[in-house]
Amino acid sequence: MGVRGVVRNGFGIISELTTIMSKHKIILRQALVSCYGDGCENEKYKSKINGSITESQETLILAFLDITEADVSPEEIIAELKSTNTFVELEVIMPLVDGMIADTLSHPLKAGSDRIIILSEHCYRGLLTEIRKLFGTGGDVLLYHTGFTTGVEFAKLHREIAELVNLKEPEEIFKKVSATMFQWAGFGKMHVKSLSQDHGEIEVQDSFECELGRGRVTAYSQFVRGIIAGILAELFGKRFNIVEEGCIAKGDPVCRFVVKTTPLLAERSSASQKH
């Protein structure tokens, strides 16, 4: 069974929950504890604890419990949890089929104030590979453009996060926020080898896109390459040319992207024509 509750004293109820589970031979399979609400830092209220007035904050607890060997029923477990008088809200998730349970109460899924979705490999494989099959080289262009516009929107969010932690320089925002959020989103593990206003080198380990193209003789990234280009364009206020010189799709250990500003490339091209 699963329980999803909002509590006033998160740390206290965790201790009580552990005691209840141990007493009744309940196994905790998975748990999530997080701040609750759209503006957690502002959702404080006064509560009286041990005769003193303190500021408290609502906390969300989502837990999945194995009650196979438990000596009490699900109803008795809920009744005991409610008797702690700590829960502001308490809901139960019961499996619709024996052996399978999922969180059906946390809807819609959110990261901060933004809605998020989860795509398994089966889903995004069909999305990315079918676009290439249907449109050929046009599909590559479409994926890059989609990635670019996605990257621009990501960068706007990253800039907001950076302001909260007092990061101002584009290079620092990309290295410390964008690269971290890239990995958090499941796209791959990003390492910024170097980055400046004019050029850079970025490595991506286990790119979710390029894993789909293993066995090729050429680089595969279009969507991720576009994301990187879009983030950099928004943060730096200029266009960058991103070339994937190494790719796991063709057997390289990591995907390696070389970054150069578009004006710099144009100047070099013009100079070579004069000679």
Q: pLDDT tens, 213-263?
A: 999 999 999 999 999 999 999 999 999 999 999 999 999 999 999 999 875
**pLDDT for position 210:** 98
All CATH 3.30.70.260 domain ranges of the chain, comma separated, are 2-111
Cα gap 64→68, rounded to integer Å:
12
**Crossing angle between the packed helical segments 74-82 and 10-23, to the nearest 10 degrees:** 140
Could you tell me the sign of the dihedral formed by the alpha carbons of 224, 140, 121, 33, in that order?
A: positive
Confidence of residue 98 (pLDDT cuts 50, 70, 90): confident
Topology at the third CATH level for domain 121-274 = Muramoyl-pentapeptide Carboxypeptidase; domain 2 (3.30.1380)
Q: Which residues neighbour 12 within 8 Å (Cβ) at sequence distance 6 or greater?
A: 86
Q: Over 60: is that where the pLDDT of 45 sits?
A: no
Q: Over 60: is that where the pLDDT of 109 sits?
A: yes
Q: Over 50: is that where the pLDDT of 55 sits?
A: no
All CATH 3.30.1380.20 domain ranges of the chain, comma separated, are 121-274
CATH 3.30.1160.10, applies to 2-111: no
Confidence of residue 275 (pLDDT cuts 50, 70, 90): very low
> In whole numbers, what is the pLDDT of the chain averaged over residues?
86
pTM above 0.85, yes or no: no
Q: Which residues neighbour 119 within 8 Å (Cβ) at sequence distance 6 or greater?
A: 127
The answer to whether the bond into 263 is cis (omega within 30° of 0) is no
Q: Over 60: is that where the pLDDT of 90 sits?
A: yes
**Main-chain dihedrals φ then ψ at residue 261, nearest 5 degrees:** -70, 145
Q: Over 80: is that where the pLDDT of 13 sits?
A: no
* Residue tagged 């589970």 (tokens): 21
Cα gap 250→221, rounded to integer Å:
11
Return the higher-pLDDT residue of 265 and 238.
238
Q: What single string gives the DSSP state of each residue in 105-161?
A: SS-S-EETTEE-----HHHHHHHHHHHHHHHTHHHHHHHHHHHHHHHHHHHHHHHHH
